[in-house]
Structure 1
Amino acid sequence: MRTSAIGDVTHVTPLIRTLQEKAPQTRLTWIIGKLERRLVGDLPGVEFITFDKGQGRAGVSAVREALAGRRFDALLHMQVALRSNLLSLSVKADRRIGYDHARSKDLHGLFVNERIPARTGEHVLDAMASFIEPLGLKQTAVRWDIPVPDEAHAWAAEQLPGDAPTLLVSPMSSHTVRNWRVERYAALIDHAMARGLRVALVGGPSAPERALADSILAAVKQAPMDLTGKDTLKRFMALLSRSSMILTPDSGPMHMANAAGVKVLGLHAASNPERSGPYSDRRWCVDKYDAASRKFFGKPASEIPWGTKIEKPGVMDLVEVDDMIARFEACADHLGIALAK
């Protein structure tokens, strides 16, 4: 059971792949959020039961009804929020595997009878992978292979025709304090376009995402393509398959891009990229997490609890435009992109 959010759901996907490879006889049921199902709900060999949190008690009742009369050998209870703990009561299971004591909250321990190994210093994906260790299994390879339908690929080809090196800019995190300043996004976009890259703004259809995109478009010298609100989760995955890099704060699109094999120009100060950055390759991220810890807590990041979020106003100002330009240039060189002078 992991209902949200988009980034965390991408982290669970390799665990599903590992279970299918190492225990192919196992029948898998995933209780998942309504939005998140749109991303991974077509994974083969998995039964999905949707939890629509927007329906409140009715959403819980729908899950309970879908599971009525069923019993499972094991529940991997991969979410500690109280709502998820209460939702887990809908699942009848002999083994209820949850987080270790240090990572538990909201009475999580009352809803499980086994715990994953207590560790610190792990990436979130590795922590989720450890849920199969009590079952005698271990994740030794990470594979996503999230299906993308032909329709999505066709749409993406219309938006990004040809094979021009492309930078996607996904500027918004649901944690708005993680967002970069508008003028800094604009400066990086101007630099990338001056260096010859095709640049496209992407984002969801919400009013805040539209407003942020409009502010960036008003601040740039040369307008990038604006695909904000035009894609879906699957279409975004298809756009990624036609892109070289993505600029984004710590957000769901960061982890979707990593799953798609796209290089991530990650903006990190409020969160630790070693814990929640792009899992496969963090070389292209700007990491100001330690600087943020020193500024706001008066101590290095090594002296604060693992997983601490430094979501303080102004924290992202620690990431300078020149920092990201340097990562952009290094990434382009790594990819063999011939930049304009």
Structure 2
Amino acid sequence: MPGELIPQRVCLLRLSALGDCANVVPVVHTLQAARPDIEITWVINRAEATLVADLPGVECVVYDKAGGRAALIDLARRLRGRRFDVLLNMHASWRANVIACLVRANRRIGFDRRRARDGQRLFVSQAIAPVASRHVVDGFLAFAAAIGASEPVMDWRVPISAADRDTAATLLDSAAARGPLLMISPCSSHGMRNWQATRYAGLADHAATHHGMRVVLVGGPSAGEQAMGQAIIAAADCRITNLIGQTSLKQLLAVFEQGDVLVTPDSGPAHMANATDIVTISLHAATDPRRSGAYRSRAWCIDYFAEAAAAYRKRTPDDLKWGTRIEDDTGVMALIPLAAVTRRLDTVMAERGA
């Protein structure tokens, strides 16, 4: 039986970022489907834990990256005396290498040569098999396959409470107009991946005028995100509901559940949205959508990475090292014209019969 081949006590190490942690959720579901009695412990950063800590059958050991040496000592204390059958080190960084040393495991599996960096190969005893696909999700699923769970479960869902769904419904009811719902999550944690506020505004006006869509801005509470939201509203003619900074991660997922289309750069929300049926149009010039496009909506990605590679690296995407980011200046994302995104929205809405 497949379950007899899969280790029971598994430690996942993936600290951050939000989108990457969202993309590890299918690995959890894959392992649990292959061995229902599996015991999964996930070492994860505090902020990202708020998204996944209540996954059934998963124990999150939370580490605070902002906590410095004290946080590392506390993590070592909580892992002391524990031993796992296998460590799946799904985070290639020097910080993760240090943390991996605190995890006692019979097997220690890391990335293949293309994906490994920062000396990770010195801290593991085995690598995942090389993966033809460039996408991070397929790389993560290779860890499950490495321990016998070779039938992927493409499920990004995490528990959402009734209270969070009620909050989302209340926030969305604040928009007086009715109609299909366009959500714009305009910011990435990497500012050079953000599209221009005037172009988001132009998209909002197009959606409202041509498709009768309600437009809602979503995002986190940072000053940069708040400023971007205000700039979009100031440049747009249509009515926009601004929910930036007003939702938790679970409430944001509940908002996505009610949406029709999400437009966003390469960001955490782009990958969180895989847990819902919303169509995600992710905007890529600074990053390669073959690696980090919204997985379930890859056909809808706006891809100007080749143009950026030619303009800023004088190379083609296939000539660049896996994982290369072209975050040189704001001109990178300016390569994406408004018309490319409005046309994609028109196609999505036509296919939805709207």
- Calculate the TM-score normalised by the size of structure 2: 0.92
Structure 1 letter corresponding to 2:342: I
Structure 2 letter corresponding to 1:88: A
Q: Distance in 1 between matches of 2:59 and 2:158?
A: 15
**2:268 equivalent to 1:252:** yes
**Greater alpha carbon shift after TM alignment, 24-33 vs 97-106:** 97-106
Q: For 2:201, what is the secondary structure of its paired residue?
A: helix
Provide the residue aligned with 2:5 in structure 1.
none
**Shift of the alpha carbon at 1:105?**
1.9
Match among 175, 184, 195 for residue 169 of structure 1? 184
Verify the 8 A CA contact 2:93 2:120 in the aligned structure 1: yes
**2:190 equivalent to 1:178:** no
Structure 2 counterparts to residues 108-187 of structure 1, below 5 A: 108-161=120-173, 164-187=179-202
Provide the residue aligned with 2:217 in structure 1.
201
Verify the 8 A CA contact 1:129 1:139 in the aligned structure 2: no
Match among 220, 238, 244 for residue 222 of structure 1? 238
**Greater alpha carbon shift after TM alignment, 180-189 vs 156-165:** 156-165
Q: For 2:259, what is the secondary structure of its paired residue?
A: coil
**2:347 equivalent to 1:330:** yes
Provide the residue aligned with 1:98 in structure 2.
110
Match among 88, 94, 119 for residue 82 of structure 1? 94
Structure 2 letter corresponding to 1:142: M
Q: Distance in 1 between matches of 2:134 and 2:199?
A: 31
**Greater alpha carbon shift after TM alignment, 306-315 vs 179-188:** 306-315
Verify the 8 A CA contact 1:75 1:96 in the aligned structure 2: yes
Q: Distance in 2 between matches of 1:310 and 1:139?
A: 34
Verify the 8 A CA contact 1:121 1:306 in the aligned structure 2: no
Match among 283, 286, 289 for residue 299 of structure 2? 283
Match among 32, 36, 53 for residue 20 of structure 1? 32
**Shift of the alpha carbon at 1:281?**
2.0
Structure 2 counterparts to residues 45-60 of structure 1, below 5 A: 45-60=57-72
**Shift of the alpha carbon at 1:90?**
1.3
Provide the residue aligned with 2:8 in structure 1.
none
Percentage of pairs with the same residue = 40
Structure 1 letter corresponding to 2:307: A
Verify the 8 A CA contact 2:42 2:61 in the aligned structure 1: yes
Structure 2 letter corresponding to 1:32: I
**Shift of the alpha carbon at 1:136?**
2.2
**Shift of the alpha carbon at 1:163?**
7.2
* Structure 1: 5+ residue stretches without partners: none
Provide the residue aligned with 2:6 in structure 1.
none
Verify the 8 A CA contact 2:131 2:142 in the aligned structure 1: no
Provide the residue aligned with 2:337 in structure 1.
320
Provide the residue aligned with 2:3 in structure 1.
none
Verify the 8 A CA contact 1:52 1:59 in the aligned structure 2: yes
Q: For 2:307, what is the secondary structure of its paired residue?
A: helix
**2:44 equivalent to 1:44:** no
Match among 279, 301, 318 for residue 302 of structure 1? 318
**2:46 equivalent to 1:34:** yes
Verify the 8 A CA contact 2:262 2:281 in the aligned structure 1: yes
Match among 230, 235, 257 for residue 241 of structure 1? 257
Q: Distance in 1 between matches of 2:136 and 2:121?
A: 19
Q: For 2:86, what is the secondary structure of its paired residue?
A: strand
**Shift of the alpha carbon at 1:141?**
3.1
**Shift of the alpha carbon at 1:157?**
0.9
The CA deviation string for residues 128-170 of structure 1, in whole angstroms up to 9 with x for no partner, is: 0101222122143311221111011001111223973101110
Q: Distance in 2 between matches of 1:119 and 1:160?
A: 41
Verify the 8 A CA contact 1:199 1:224 in the aligned structure 2: yes
Distance 1:52 1:277, change over 3 A: same
Q: Distance in 2 between matches of 1:157 and 1:22?
A: 36
Q: For 1:264, what is the secondary structure of its paired residue?
A: strand
Q: Distance in 2 between matches of 1:69 and 1:248?
A: 44
Verify the 8 A CA contact 1:14 1:142 in the aligned structure 2: yes
**Greater alpha carbon shift after TM alignment, 118-127 vs 52-61:** 118-127
Q: Distance in 1 between matches of 2:29 and 2:314?
A: 42
Provide the residue aligned with 1:72 in structure 2.
84
